[in-house]
Structure 1
């Protein structure tokens, strides 16, 4: 009897793993882009996302910013090397379904206000918690440009 129960338990676990794998493969790919340094990752990240959507337009993409990464979404922010303004690039990606989120802990730590950010920005209580939850709970792939 114990051997039968062990076999049944193992079979149930295997079925559970197969159904999890199948549920993650159904539907569009989901990706979280993690930006914590706008100067190093901003323009490169936005171009990566554009290229990503050009190749796989049904991909669900959420960009989570924290620390110096939130600078990407501030009013008037530009890439220092090329003098390219981020806001038009963000708006173009937002129109393609990309969500952009700013960490509220960073706002508090840096004494920033929500009205300093472009209208395309959404806010999340914690950037790192959001990245972890998107990966673990929601099955998002992780990319750090």
Structure 2
């Protein structure tokens, strides 16, 4: 009889010890911060209206499900045109309205300096939300390799 009680007592202690260990581990795990932060995405626009419209819609969709996403739009070649002051789509809708909204939500719009030089454009032709980088493709590379941004090209 003593041996039975002894086994029961040891078993009970083991159950309590395992339960406490699990509770302590769970508490410790809840204090660990995830190494994964918000989504970081670079959208690449180098084409005309259709690509621009898709990109703006994808970005709105992205922010709808993940409002803390860090989104950068890098433009070059014909892709810079929607950021020019007064630019409108084929239906006459101004591009500055969705760009202002996305800028307010933290989206950055970058324009390639090489494109400006090659197309003989000036920074003053662009809406205030547009910022400028020396090279669009070099900026995309930097964001991907050094900053960990995912690449999307609509």
Q: TM-score range by the shorter chain?
A: 0.7 to 0.9
Pairs aligned (count): 121
Q: 2:89 aligns with which of 79, 85, 91?
A: 79
Q: Runs ≥4 in structure 1, deviation > 4 angstroms?
A: none
The root-mean-square deviation of aligned C-alpha atoms, in Å, is 1.3
**Is 1:33 the equivalent of 2:61?**
no
**Is 1:88 the equivalent of 2:88?**
no
Bigger strand share: 1
> How far apart, CA to CA, are the structure 2 residues paired with 1:93 and 1:38?
19
Q: Deviations over 1:14-56 (max 9, x none)?
A: xxxxxxxxxx952111000000013231112111101110111
Higher Cα radius of gyration? 2
> How far apart, CA to CA, are the structure 2 residues paired with 1:104 and 1:27?
30
> How far apart, CA to CA, are the structure 2 residues paired with 1:143 and 1:83?
27
Q: How does 1:5-44 map to 2 (within 5 A)?
A: 26-44=36-54
Give the unaligned 5+ runs of structure 1: 1-23
Which residue number corresponds to residue 134 of structure 2? 125
**Is 1:66 the equivalent of 2:76?**
yes
